[in-house]
Structure 1
């Protein structure tokens, strides 16, 4: 099978042209003219909660009602809307909201076939606040970042997904971009009583069963039951469970993990700055990853609720969510510039007389579990006062076990008791072509690629594992007087909060390999029928792990352990983190018939303690010792927000607030992690106990026009951020290794920038019916939103000078959503389009040409359902209709491939029964 992954060729790119935007947004202006006339003539009021409808239009009206009633600038997605989309997780659903996008996995170890974390208004999920029913939840991630990993939470648990763009003092201030709140289902919804539903679906994915067979069709199913009882139906319970399994594969084509392209002078000398070269980028490596995944999600959510009186209510919620990933990674790797100089070089091609190749296998199953327990109560008294208590316990854990084997063509043995290193060999002479920014490699003698006798055993890593645990206890007590939605005049509120956050990271790795030649891949190597992308037709090679393991067992005399590396791998990455957050706030508000204003201040105090391990090298001997660090921060954070109804259906809002963004757990850890490549170069990752939280001054202004059955909104925002956080990467840096030698290293460390800034405009509209455009379009509806952002990030180079980048980490320049839906009696269909512009992924402080950007990406989804009768609905869903992949770019002009991965098209066909 030929796999083509050119990021230029996959699918036509969607770009929003100004004329297109003008045409799209002219529609609501026309409808508004019609609506204004009809309203003046006494048309129906847009008080949407009085209209009884179902499905998509009900969901849209619920979202509009929530936005109109909120004291903050916000957007939401209702449960019925979620059911109309083929989104399996909360993270996927979130990207439908104006100003929100999602990021894929950012490490170089796993595949990238699913969205994991949200970005709000250009700011990464690590610096936004995520809650479930107003309380924080624990989360774990392979990158040990702060913030809930929303791909763990199923979309089926949602009653409503809320995104707040502005901040008030009663909320967690870790919300520079905004706050996301998942509202879970309630037994009292839909008027209470007994409700039950069950859904089952089978599917198909475009990439599956290669190179190995899998377990067959994707499957998913779930159920929910709720009921109320008592004389006044004052007690209720709800429970829901789900399970989903999808087997798929994803193929990645990448350059190296750090220095992606090399540059040479006209005389053939390698230079470190493209401005000193002939201007031709030369790919350093061609890496091919073939991930085969079997992903299973399952979970259960339950809630007990009580309303013994009109003034008193309480609840207890529990949840358990688990994702099990059985993943194997087959790595095929060809190095072009380990030590060679390109011959016959042109702007887009060249030849190397030698080369080096690597063949790797990794079995890396992972299990992530999140347990949640929440309880709370609300008491209304004296007519205008409310006392609210919330407490939540949550624990998230992740266990990943890796078994790895590697074979190399171009291996040099360094004597008894020493592990081998890599070298170039003439049998792997090659040429390369740059095609639309993507390197394509051709071996001069392809037969050498499949010759098992030329592949020599390099290392065995058996039983490596990574364990992460996060525990979060979150408590809040709130009191308000005359501050509800219907109140008038002055009101006041106050509250206390306490959060204890603990995170532990523990990893180990044991390396051993041959110290002399003799062990080859004969009898272990398999040649598949799968073709590597951009490789001149080379087949995917795979290692039989059982036979590789047996080779290790049968030949103990060949083996030597890398004691220096093994000691480091058991200690260098481990750390503990403990954070105590305590807060208090006061606020006052004044409401009239047409306006609402709220002013307040929050005192936020953080105490942090962390431990890690560091080594001190003396006379070539590394001595490891634990190191502790602490930090403490105190902030006084003011906020002011106001809204004014210019007329009944025209509202303007404004807000100003100071918020913070807390650094990732791992950033604080006093640790230094070092990994060594086969060519002897080092990658060094350092913590920074002196890292400071971000501080941001946020300005927001919005105008909202509520139509007869729709909405037009315009919002502008501005965020001036001090102490912006980024991971500074510097290549080709000298580093004293634990063996006493000084090596070339790529060194990464979190840093605070000297400044950052982002400004944006959000435009959105929703029309539940297009009948005002033409009566024959009455069954059609349209929803769209566009966000444009312009940012600036100042980073400090190693020479202390400052350079500016035109966006923040994770910030795209544009986000767009367009959804067209059709409703006719029992039939509903929806076509949804999402576009996310180019965004910054990683920064090399000294080398702008090594900055990495997520390439702009679009995705089309389709769903339809037919209500067979009052109990049975048949549905079909297609996610990623065009099989759009995810790509990263680098280079002087940001147009050279860093890596690209396939993302499958997923089809579901199923039925839902409800009563």
Structure 2
């Protein structure tokens, strides 16, 4: 592979498409469509382009087609009035879908069952979420959930009304927690595919549905207002939403307009305790490195606006236009005290009582010569994200058998964030640790010592910045023709083109020391470290005493009081950083490398990842069936060509003895990649007995690499061959005396992960008109082209014009995996009971995986003694997950209790706090999330058909999230414990 200078296509010119220009383009498109009016065909209330990828619309269409055989309810007007209606509509979506789909619908307008989209998704079989702020981070809990996986895979495609939707986060999918649930009418999760579906969902596809004006018979007004309260953070926060929709008959045809706005705020608090990895000390005892305490205060504001317009100039022509925008502002700050010591120097204080069982420490006092170095910090994150979607489309019916649809979509997303940490240092005399099995441990320190500001020094600063921008323009056109008789019941074909651009700046985590114990004697004079007062400019007024009030809700011992920087020192970046570092300069020994003025991290080209991607897709699909045998299905193929161009830099080696390779300079590069995927699909459904269905599906799916995995940025290194000493006076070494290497976290030549996926189900609709059903679904995914690190020789040019081979370690397509599982579900309302209104829903998912990735160097797990591990499960995959919900809906009352649980799963290998090199031994521990279950509920009372008052509750059971580390010598230990708020929302809903 070679990399060449970029020729075209990836400049930042034209980054923004003004709203006025786009609105004019949409209006022009509608005018151009208007002359196509014909005069035949049935009237459909389904939005023009929303038939694409919307099982709710397809379910309604198929039910209408069967109306002559059985009386069914009319789903053309989506009027959701309660739990039963929501369950029945989700059941219809599942039964009449073209492939395997599970769905959740709003119980009322603007009222999904949960107060976040991620929590709602977790109710769907096969879908799991984690409760950490970011995937692979075991140190920061998330109250509303994060990290959606479908059947154990994170490669999940996200859609809004059947079109692309994404966040500007270096990936391809939407951050579902950013989306206001109040704007949603339902959520559909596809487990398999049809040829007309957009490619990219390896685990599955999540489609978020909104209302359209023609979904209602006439004027519709709905509003809600809530007051949210967290019983741990003890803060009240408001939220509210308003929807207005209407439709009119005019001389130009029927028109409809809808506007929906939502605003939601939330505050939470999370307390966490940590026991760090165990190391074998000089006496042969496995002793933990130490312990940490953390309190995190979290605030978020989520806003959404949605506009929709529909126009039906005649019975055979529909137009629609929508505008959707979601904004998410997240601010959190964390006070923490954490170990920063040499773990191999930790000892058990023999003068204090202690318990050692089988050579493994259980309780006692941990000490270290000269005190145990710890840090106390304020870490603050301030993040803004926004996604805007403009779509327009048409549907033209030619006679009674043919429909032509076309849609244009423009999506723009931005994210700007600062993650900033300012820390003090202190050398505590000891840490008391008493491990209590699954209960929170008892941890303590000398409070007199930690409560004295004279025992602290300025430790370090660390900044991390993201500045991301992404946009996409997409167009698709489809034709659907049905046949009145015969085995072949219809044919569909279409084309879709996209042009996507992403400009992501990620600075990484830039740790800069102020004073550290290891700097004494060479960068700092020996003796005591400088105190908090530096040159009269930086002083103790910039710190505060954290007493950890009501720590862990009183269920764990109070660790004591600590001094830590105030939040403004973190959020004041870069000015606050410069003040601290510049004030420290006079305390350094001159010439130590730290006595230069502070320079903030630059948002420069070295941190920039520019990607330009175009796709060209076509598909053809045949619908077949035998009505007398109640057999139906489809077979089709989708072909898509993908072209990528990435801009970046190649950094040459800076080896004095090999100037012909380079002198550390960098040069712009462009990496281009092109590939074509052919994706067949087959779906068949057979109702072999009344209300008993068997269903089978096969399809081939892909998931393209995230843009963060495709950055064109490579640093090259040249070192002298190990064991070779150049002769005196040597100025240039030959190439055979050098080792040429490079390491990168990205590879612009990655191709998609692929999967052959199979589904087989048995579905029993034993009470079709009342939401009663049961099902079992078996599935298998055979994956290939995994993204894993591997070392391979790659040729790069030297500055002398010759080419040289470097051993590059970077992500490549290698390895295989299989995922097998089963989903079992049951819904029923117990109308046969003397007391009416009770119902229940339950589903269980079982998943097992097996991977084979040769020569994988992504994250090889190693214990702290250097010993290895056997095979580990795929990260993020729980073997078992369960949802159980009970309902009562009768008269004015509506009550719901829902429990969501997932079993243990691998979070990450070697995340922060669980990796290092000590005694020249590198170690990376696997960290697992323990099983977690949360109980939520709501109770509403309807005063009349217009007004409803209720109480919504999250985390009623005060669930505790734990993480686990497995060590070969020290055994299994819980390594962290978290508690969060029980959250309440008093909600008033009105509908007219």
* TM-score higher than 0.5: yes
Q: CA deviation at 1:358?
A: 0.7
Distance 1:47 1:640, change over 3 A: same
Q: After superposing the two structures, state which structure 1 stretch, 554-563 or 598-607, moved more.
A: 554-563
Mapped contact 1:504–1:577 kept (Cα < 8 A): yes
Q: CA deviation at 1:645?
A: 1.1
Is 1:700 equivalent to 2:759 in the alignment? Answer: yes
Question: What's the counterpart of residue 138 of structure 1?
Answer: 166
Distance 1:901 1:617, change over 3 A: farther
Q: CA deviation at 1:719?
A: 0.7
Is 1:118 equivalent to 2:148 in the alignment? Answer: yes
Question: What's the counterpart of residue 40 of structure 2?
Answer: none
Q: CA deviation at 1:818?
A: 1.0
Q: CA deviation at 1:648?
A: 2.7
Question: What's the counterpart of residue 387 of structure 2?
Answer: 370
Question: What's the counterpart of residue 55 of structure 1?
Answer: 82
Question: What's the counterpart of residue 680 of structure 2?
Answer: 638
Is 1:227 equivalent to 2:246 in the alignment? Answer: yes
> C-alpha deviations, 1:724-750, integer Å up to 9, x for none?
335799xxxxxxxxxxxxxxxxx9964
Task: Note the 1:504-543 alignment, pairs <5 A.
Answer: 504-508=503-507, 511=512, 513=514, 516=524, 517-520=529-532, 522-530=540-548, 537-543=559-565
Question: What's the counterpart of residue 353 of structure 1?
Answer: 368
Structure 2: tracts of 5 or more residues without a match: 1-68, 351-355, 516-522, 533-538, 571-575, 589-593, 657-662, 717-742, 792-807, 861-867, 916-921
Question: What's the counterpart of residue 273 of structure 1?
Answer: none
Mapped contact 1:433–1:439 kept (Cα < 8 A): no
Distance in structure 2 (CA, Å) of the matches to 1:903 and 1:189: 39
Structure 1: tracts of 5 or more residues without a match: 1-43, 210-215, 269-277, 411-426, 675-683, 730-746
> C-alpha deviations, 1:636-670, integer Å up to 9, x for none?
11111111111231111111111112222111114
Question: What's the counterpart of residue 879 of structure 1?
Answer: 954
Distance 1:850 1:339, change over 3 A: closer
Note the aligned Cα RMSD (angstroms): 3.6
Q: CA deviation at 1:164?
A: 1.4
Q: For 1:180, which of 192, 206, 210 is the aligned residue?
A: 206
Question: What's the counterpart of residue 294 of structure 2?
Answer: 289
Is 1:205 equivalent to 2:224 in the alignment? Answer: no
Distance 1:651 1:101, change over 3 A: same
Mapped contact 1:353–1:430 kept (Cα < 8 A): no
**Structure with max Cα Rg:** 2
Task: Note the 1:261-410 alignment, pairs <5 A.
Answer: 261-264=277-280, 267-268=283-284, 280=286, 282-335=287-340, 337-343=342-348, 346-349=359-362, 351-354=366-369, 355-409=372-426
Q: CA deviation at 1:146?
A: 2.7
SS at match of 2:119: helix
Distance in structure 2 (CA, Å) of the matches to 1:68 and 1:361: 52
Task: Note the 1:759-838 alignment, pairs <5 A.
Answer: 759-767=820-828, 769-772=829-832, 774-776=833-835, 778-797=836-855, 805=871, 807-838=873-904
SS at match of 2:236: coil
SS at match of 1:114: strand
Question: What's the counterpart of residue 466 of structure 1?
Answer: 466
Q: For 2:272, which of 252, 263, 266 is the aligned residue?
A: 252
Distance in structure 2 (CA, Å) of the matches to 1:547 and 1:133: 44
Distance 1:599 1:53, change over 3 A: closer
Q: For 2:816, which of 712, 735, 755 is the aligned residue?
A: 755
Mapped contact 1:662–1:693 kept (Cα < 8 A): yes
Question: What's the counterpart of residue 12 of structure 1?
Answer: none
Distance 1:200 1:82, change over 3 A: closer
Distance in structure 1 (CA, Å) of the matches to 2:467 and 2:460: 23
Is 1:217 equivalent to 2:236 in the alignment? Answer: yes
> C-alpha deviations, 1:419-454, integer Å up to 9, x for none?
xxxxxxxx5333544332789575664422222122
Q: TM-score, normalised to structure 1's length?
A: 0.80
Mapped contact 1:728–1:844 kept (Cα < 8 A): no
Q: After superposing the two structures, state which structure 1 stretch, 339-348 or 556-565, moved more.
A: 556-565
Mapped contact 1:573–1:671 kept (Cα < 8 A): no
Distance in structure 2 (CA, Å) of the matches to 1:75 and 1:848: 42
Question: What's the counterpart of residue 24 of structure 1?
Answer: none
Q: CA deviation at 1:155?
A: 1.5
SS at match of 1:208: coil
Distance in structure 2 (CA, Å) of the matches to 1:196 and 1:869: 15
Distance in structure 2 (CA, Å) of the matches to 1:865 and 1:712: 28
Question: What's the counterpart of residue 906 of structure 2?
Answer: 840
Q: CA deviation at 1:379?
A: 1.2
- Count of aligned residue pairs for this structure pair: 800
Distance in structure 2 (CA, Å) of the matches to 1:513 and 1:265: 30
Q: TM-score, normalised to structure 2's length?
A: 0.74
Distance in structure 2 (CA, Å) of the matches to 1:78 and 1:443: 49
Is 1:480 equivalent to 2:495 in the alignment? Answer: no
Q: For 1:901, which of 955, 978, 986 is the aligned residue?
A: 978
Q: After superposing the two structures, state which structure 1 stretch, 878-887 or 857-866, moved more.
A: 878-887
Q: After superposing the two structures, state which structure 1 stretch, 849-858 or 699-708, moved more.
A: 849-858
> C-alpha deviations, 1:566-601, integer Å up to 9, x for none?
678856543122222211111212122111121111
Q: CA deviation at 1:628?
A: 3.6
Q: CA deviation at 1:72?
A: 0.9
Q: CA deviation at 1:406?
A: 1.9
Q: CA deviation at 1:167?
A: 0.4
Distance in structure 2 (CA, Å) of the matches to 1:756 and 1:793: 4
Task: Note the 1:595-634 alignment, pairs <5 A.
Answer: 595-613=631-649, 615-616=651-652, 618=654, 623-634=665-676
SS at match of 1:527: strand
Distance in structure 1 (CA, Å) of the matches to 2:450 and 2:809: 34
Distance in structure 2 (CA, Å) of the matches to 1:618 and 1:903: 50
Mapped contact 1:469–1:503 kept (Cα < 8 A): yes
Q: CA deviation at 1:844?
A: 5.9
Is 1:237 equivalent to 2:265 in the alignment? Answer: no
> C-alpha deviations, 1:322-341, integer Å up to 9, x for none?
11122222231124544404
SS at match of 2:107: helix
Is 1:80 equivalent to 2:100 in the alignment? Answer: no
Q: CA deviation at 1:239?
A: 0.6
Distance 1:174 1:805, change over 3 A: farther
Distance in structure 2 (CA, Å) of the matches to 1:96 and 1:582: 35
Distance 1:848 1:429, change over 3 A: closer
Distance in structure 2 (CA, Å) of the matches to 1:631 and 1:437: 50
Distance in structure 1 (CA, Å) of the matches to 2:94 and 2:486: 18
> C-alpha deviations, 1:479-522, integer Å up to 9, x for none?
121189x9963422211111222222224569574665534264
SS at match of 1:172: coil
SS at match of 1:669: coil
Q: For 2:612, which of 568, 575, 578 is the aligned residue?
A: 578
Distance 1:607 1:902, change over 3 A: farther
Q: CA deviation at 1:689?
A: 3.2
Q: CA deviation at 1:374?
A: 0.9
Distance in structure 2 (CA, Å) of the matches to 1:750 and 1:506: 20
Distance in structure 2 (CA, Å) of the matches to 1:197 and 1:568: 48
Distance in structure 1 (CA, Å) of the matches to 2:309 and 2:112: 28
